[in-house]
Structures are given as structure tokens and as C-alpha cells.
Amino acid sequence: GAVVSQHPSWVICKSGTSVKIECRSLDFQATTMFWYRQFPKQSLMLMATSNEGSKATYEQGVEKDKFLINHASLTLSTLTVTSAHPEDSSFYICSARGTGGNNSPLHFGNGTRLTVT
């Protein structure tokens, strides 16, 4: 149980274009999803917290107008990287919390490898 599906697993786009990444909780409802970014050989850095039906909460230094987050249902959150640039190339991973409150385990998606050329 508690499967999180992320799509696409990899994407290559041209500089200036936008890319949408989907994160779905397949067998549970996730009122809160988290979006992380991981550069090569580095840790996972939280970008934003996605809350169903409300605006996302962004971490300091993350541009909300560049990384658009939509959490329109209890099973789907999307991250859109707008006007992508090569420095946005990274591994983007979503995660969702299952039932059990804030201290229940986070379940991660498979991640999306974004390459901006």
C-alpha cells in the first residue's frame, strides 16, 4: 500500500519552455504532498508543501511564480517548471504522507529527471 506515482520519469526540454510533473497517490488520499529537488550528489531540498485545495507553501529562496504547484484533488499534485533554464536541470521528487498524521512515513514517487538544454 501507500504507492506514489510520479510522471514523467524523465524529460528533456528546451530552455524557455515549461514542464509539468505529476504526482499521484494511488491507494490513499494525500491532503499534503511535498516537492523536493535533488542536485547530483546532494541531499533532498524541500521546495514546497502542497496542500489540497489551498495555496502551496514555498520554502525560502524558491520562486513560486517559477515553480507552480497545483493540488486540485486528494490524489494529485502537479509541479510546473515555467520558463525552464539549464540551471533547473535536476531530479525532482514528490512525496506524500499517508494516513496517521504528521508523523506517519513519507512515501516518495520515483522522481523526475529534468534536463533543460
Q: Which of 7, 13, 52, 57 binds another protein (CB under 8 A)?
A: 57
| Residue 82 contacts another protein per CB under 8 A | no
Asked whether position 102 contacts another protein by CB under 8 A, the answer is yes
Q: Which of 49, 70, 80, 89 binds another protein (CB under 8 A)?
A: 49
Q: If 0-12 CB within 10 Å is exposed, 13-18 middle and 19+ buried, where does residue 7 land? A: middle
By the 8 A CB rule, do 113 and 93 touch? no
Other C-beta atoms lying within 10 Å of the C-beta of residue 43: 7
Min separation Cβ 113 and another protein, Å: 7
